[in-house]
Chains A and B, each alone.
Chain A
Amino acid sequence: MKKQPISTGAEWTFELIEKYDQEIARIAAGFGLDTYPNQIEVITSEQMMDAYASVGMPLNYHHWSYGKQFVETEQRYKRGQMGLAYEIVINSNPCISYLMEENTMTMQALVIAHACYGHNSFFKGNYLFQTWTDASAIVDYLVFAKRYIAQCEERHGIDEVESILDACHALMNYGVNRYLRPKPLTAEEEKERVNAREEYNQRHINQLWNTIPKKEEGDTDSKQARYPSEPEENILYFIEKNAPLLEPWQREIVRIVRKIAQYFYPQKQTQVMNEGWACFWHHTLLHQLYDEGLVNDGFMMEFLHSHSSVVYQPPFDSPHFSGINPYTLGYNMMQDIRRICEKPTPEDREWFPDIAGSNWQETLDHAMRNFKDESFIQQFLSPHLIRELRLFSIVDDSDQPTLKVSAIHNEPGYRRIREELSAQYNLGNREPNIQIYDVDVRGNRSLTLRHFIHNNQPLGEDTEEVLKHIHTLWGFDVHLESVTSDKVTSANYHCPSKEKLELY
C-alpha cells in the first residue's frame, strides 16, 4: 500500500520537520533504537559558526582559542574553502541537535535521522558515554563553568585567568581518567572513604610540604620513597590536588577544564563507531521511509548523493586523501555486520562463528553498547571488508632507509591489518604516554614527568612549550625525561630550561 509522500519540494517548514520527525521516530522505535528526547534547534549559518567555535557546545567560557577558531572558520567559509557541517549534535539530555536553515527538506530529514536518532541512541547506549558522561548535567555544568570563569576574570583579571586556561588546555589530553570506573557507593563505604580521606589528607599535608627535617629517620628510605608512589597519568588531576602554589580559584579552573576534557573523552574514542552507527541508521531509516512510500524518488536521489559523498573514501594516492574516513569505515563495518548476520558466507562463519546468522538488530545493538573504536575494529573488521576497502599497512621505521608494506588484503594479512588498524585507533598509542613520576617533596619541590617511549617515537617540538605551561601551574621546576622500554633515558626537557641535554 503506497502512501502519499510527506513532501515533494525542497523547501522545509516547521510543520514538515515535525511530520518527518514523527515518522522517523516511529520507524526508529520499530528498530528498537533507544534515545533521549530530542530538542531540534533550527539555526543560521552564522550561529553554526559560533557553535563550531565553542567546540560544538551551546555555551562555553570565553577563551581566545575559540575566537581564533571562529575567525578561521569564518574566513574559510567566506572564501568557499569549506562548507559547514549540516548538523551538530550534543550529548545531552534532552539531546540537542542543530539544523541549519540553509538545508533543504531532504537534508533536514537526513540530519534528523542521523543526529536525532543515530547519534542520540549511541550517546544513550554506549558504555563509555554511560560511564564517563552525565548527559543530563552537562549543560548546567557549562553554565556554571562559564559563570565561574567570568567571575574569576572580574576578580583576578583576564590575563591571570587566561594563563591558567592556556596551561590547562595544553594538558587537556592528560586530564582524563582512563581506567577508573566510578561505581555507586553504599553509605558505609562512603563513610569509610570520608575517614580515609581525612586521614590521607592529614598525612599528605605533612608528608608533602613539611619542610622541617625529621631527625632520627634514616635518609636512605626517604630518598627511595617517591611521591606519588604510583605514577599518575592524569596530570591535571594531580596538579589540581597537589600543586603547592595554586589559589583555590585556580584549582577550580583546572577542575573545570578537566571535567570538560573527560566529557569529550568518549567522543574521541568512538569516532568511527559513532559516525558509522549514525550513518548506518540514517541510511536504514530513510530507506524504510522510501519503502513505505513516504518520500519520493527525488528525495532519495538527493539523499543518496549526499550520503555517498559523506561515506566516500579517497584512495591513499588521491590528492584528497587525508587519512581513513571514519564515516566510511564505521558505516561499512555496520553494514558488514548486518550482512554477516543475514547472509553469512563460509568465510564469515569461520571468522565470526558467534554472530554469523544471528539476529542483526541484536548483534548491532550489542556492538554499539559494549565497544570503543579500538576494540570494535579488533572484534568486527572482516576479511570481506578489508578486501573491499583494499586495506594495506606500511611500516615506517626511521632506522630503515625505506618504507615497507607489511600486510595487504590477503589470507596472511587479514589479522595483521586488523590489529594495526585497531592499534591506530588506540588513543594510548596516538598520544605519548607521559605520567607524573616524582615530586621532590623534601628538596626543591621539583616535578618530574616521565615519557615512556613507545616504538622509538620521540616527543614533538611543542614539548618545551607545554612544559612551560606545566611550570606555570606547578610553580617549581619541572623536568620531563623520555625513557625507553629498557629504562634508558633518551632525552631530557627542563623548565626553566637548563641547557637542553640530549643523550643518545
Chain B
Amino acid sequence: MSYIIDRRLNSKKKSAVNRQRFLRRYKKQIKHAVEESIKKRSIQDMDRGGEITIPRKGTSEPLLHHGQGGKQTRVYPGNKEFDTGDEFQRPQGGGGGGAGQGQASNQGEGEDDFSFSINQEEFLDFMFDGLELPYLVKKQLMDATQFETHRAGYTQAGSPDKLNIVRSLRAAHARRIALSGSDRNEIRELKKQLWSLEKEPICDVNSQKIRALQEQIKALDINKKRIPFIDDFDLRYNNIVKTPVPSSKAVMFCVMDVSGSMTQSIKEIAKRFFILLYLFLTRNYKQIEVVFVRHHTHAKEVDEEEFFYSRETGGTIVSSALELTAEILQERYPRSDWNVYVAQASDGDNWDGDSQRCCKLLSEKILPLVQYYAYVEITNGPHQNLWNEYQEIHQKNPEQFAMQHIEDVADIFPVFRKLFERKTKGAA
C-alpha cells in the first residue's frame, strides 16, 4: 500500500534559514567580495544583486583524511594496453594515483572560488553595513520642531477660537428637547382637550374649563422656557492634535568642478562617489531630490547628463558654485523641511584669491543649513590652497564637514566608508 502525496504546495523556502546562517558566517568574506564588485561594476547596476565570489578556502568543514603520499593501490576500469608489471611516470596534475576527487568541474569554472547569488537587498545590506549618516538619528528622532496639526474630532473643552458653533447649537437643541419632554407631552394633551372643548357649543361650564386649560398651558410654556437656550455643557470645540513628523525628505547637492583640469576619469570617480551617496540616501529617506551644480569660472545648475558628460574648459572659481548652492538652498529647500547633503568633488584646483571666499561662504551661508557636507579631492598631485582652507573648516565643524582625498577608483569605497562610518556616541 502506497500513499501518494502532493507536496508541491508546501513552503519552498525551507533552506532560507540555513542560507542566512551561511551568509552570516561568511559576512566578512562576502562583504569584501561586495566591495570588490562595487569597484568593478558600472554604476547603473550598482543597486542590483548578483553573483558573489568568495574564496573556497575556509568555507568547507575540515575532516580527518589521508594526505598525499604513502602507498596506495587503486582499481581502474577500461584497461586498454597495460600489462602486469608495466611502469610509467606519474601523470602531471589531476592528482596522480588519487583519481579525481568526486566532482571536478571540467569547465573553466575555478573550483578554488565559491560563487553564489545574492539579491539586491542583501547586496546593499552588505554594502551599507555599519554605515550611518552623521546626525541622521538625531535629526529624525530628536529634532521635534516640526509638527503637523490635524483634526481629530471634537472635545468639550478648548479655547473660544476653536468653538464649533454648529455642533454646539446642535448639542443645545438636543438638550432642550430632552429636558422639556414631559412638559411638552402635557401641553399636547391639554391642547387636545382645549380644541375639543372649543368645538363644542359655548356655555359657561365650557368657557370656564377652557380658561383653566389655557392657564395650565401658559404655566407649562413658562416652565419650558426656563430651560436655558445654551449651556456650558453644550459647547463643542474642534479638536486639533499635533504630531511630530520626522523629515523624510532629503536633497543632495552634487557640486563638481568641470574645468579643463578635470579629466573624464576624474569625473568618473566623482560620479561613483555621488552615486554611492545617492544610494545610501535612498535607503534612509523616502523622497530625495538631487541638484547638480557644476562650475568652472561660473556655476550653473544642470541635469545629470550634462553634469557628468559635457566638456567644458576654463579656469576655476569654486566660490561661484558655493554661491549658487546657497541661493538654491534658500529659495527651494527650507531647513525645516529638508535634510540637506552636499557632496563636492574637485581636483583641488582653485583660483588663488578665491579659496578664502569659499571658506567664508561655507561657514556662513551653507553649513548652518546643511546636514552634512562632504568634500572629496581627486588628485595625484599635492594639495593646493583650497584643501588647506577646507581643513580649517573641518577642524571647526568636524561632525558636519568631512573631507577626503582619493587617488584611484579603488579608493572610493574605503573613502566613502570613512566619510560615513558609524560615529560613536561620544563623538556626536
Which of A's residues lie within 8 Å of B, judged by CB? Answer: 14, 17-18, 21, 25, 37-44, 46-47, 49-50, 53-54, 62-68, 70-72, 74-75, 78, 81, 94, 98, 101, 116, 158, 162, 166, 169-171, 173-174, 313-324, 328, 389-399, 401-410, 412-413, 417, 420-421, 423-424, 430-432, 434, 453-463, 465-466, 469
Contacts and interface: CB of A to CB of B under 8 A. Distances in A.
B75 A393 contact: yes
B69 A398 contact: yes
Given A21-B2, A44-B8, A62-B18, A322 B78 contact: no
Nearest to B99: A323
A344 to B, nearest CB: 24
B62 A466 contact: yes
Given A37-B1, A424-B74, 8 more contacts: A21-B2, A43-B8, A64-B25, A71-B22, A98-B7, A401-B89, A455-B71, A457-B67
21 contacts: A18-B2, A39-B3, A41-B4, A41-B5, A50-B14, A65-B61, A68-B114, A72-B116, A389-B78, A391-B79, A396-B71, A396-B97, A402-B88, A403-B87, A403-B97, A405-B87, A424-B73, A424-B75, A430-B66, A456-B71, A459-B66
A410 B84 contact: yes
Nearest to A39: B3
Contacts of A420: 73-75
B97 A74 contact: no
Nearest to A455: B71
Interface string B339-369: 0000000000000000000000000000000
A26 B335 CA distance: 83
A405 B343 CA distance: 72
Nearest to A318: B78
A394 B4 contact: no
A393 B8 contact: no
B103 A38 contact: no
Interface residues of B, number: 70
B89 A94 contact: no
Given A53-B18, A170-B61, A458-B67, A40 B3 contact: yes
A408 B76 CA distance: 10
Contacts of A37: 1-3
Given A39-B2, A322-B103, A390 B14 contact: no
B68 A398 contact: yes
SS of A interface (majority): mixed
B19 A70 contact: yes
Nearest to A116: B2
Contacts of A453: 70
B8 A42 contact: yes
Interface in B76-102: 76-80, 82-90, 96-102
B41 interface: no
Which of A81, A396, A401, A417 gathers most chain B CB within 10 Å?
A396
Contacts of A424: 73-75
B336 interface: no
Nearest to A421: B75
A62 B21 contact: yes
A461 B100 contact: no
A281 to B, nearest CB: 16
B64 A67 contact: no
B20 interface: yes
Interface in B108-135: 109, 114-117
Contact of A162 (B25, B68, B96): B25
B63 interface: yes
Max count, chain A CB within 10 A of own CB: residue among B65, B104, B109, B115: B65
Contact of B12 (A50, A321, A398, A430): A50
B89 A49 contact: no
A396 B24 contact: no
B171 interface: no
